Homo-oligomer: A and B are copies of this chain.
């Protein structure tokens, strides 16, 4: 039952990863998972439902990663920001392929972005709420998110060493002293 659905989602993810969102067709998914199209439709009534399920699964995974990291930073100042930075630092490129595909697929059906949008808004809200200096926290948050976004769109990839240096700096800034970095300003 749910196993079957998971198999289908696995196949769909693999397709998006390997061939891009444009090749995510019901026939291709069915062929890959060893189903017929009819069988596929039996589990997901239509393509939108399939994409929704894929997005839900990705978000659930991201969320659980975040919670795990968040548990480690609990109690410290800017706990959420630190967790976000750490998660972005570790994000494997393979995931970027998948997420890009999903976003491309979702871009045609903007309502599919509702869940990711809500998730991101909530995350950002929490970061700002925790911060002594919300503007500074937002700045660090955005700086931490940007590399992943650029990779997501296939527009830019920071060299590995500079990437590391950037996240080291971000982590230090977010950890040590949340609101006096630009005291000279």
Interface size class of A (residues with CB under 8 A): 35 or more
Asked whether B166 lies within 8 Å of A172 as measured between CB atoms, the reply is: no
Whole-angstrom distance between the alpha carbons of A108 and B162 in the complex?
29
Which of A104, A153, A180 is packed against the most chain B CB atoms within 10 Å?
A153
Task: Jot down 12 A-B pairs with beta carbons below 8 A, ordered by A.
Answer: A20-B110, A104-B108, A110-B154, A120-B150, A142-B143, A143-B143, A146-B149, A169-B185, A172-B182, A173-B185, A181-B182, A181-B184
CB distance from A183 to the nearest CB of B (A): 8
Flag the segment in A41-49, A64-72, A76-84, A133-141 that touches B: A133-141
Q: Is the interface of A mostly helix, strand, loop or mixed?
A: helix
Partner of A139, one of B124, B138, B166: B166
Q: Judge if A177 is at the interface, Cβ distance under 8 Å.
A: yes
Residues of B within 8 A of A177 (CB): 184-185
A170 at interface (Cβ–Cβ under 8 A)?
Answer: yes
Closest to A139 in B: B143
User: Do A165 and B121 form a contact, CB below 8 Å, given A100-B107, A103-B153, A113-B154?
Assistant: no
Instruction: Report chain B residues within 8 Å CB of A140.
Output: 139, 143
Chain B contacts of A116 at CB under 8 A? 155
Q: In the complex the two chains form, what is the Cα distance from A90 to B74 in whole Å?
A: 37
Tell me if B153 and A150 are in contact (CB < 8 A): no
A75 contacts the other chain (Cβ, under 8 Å)?
Answer: no
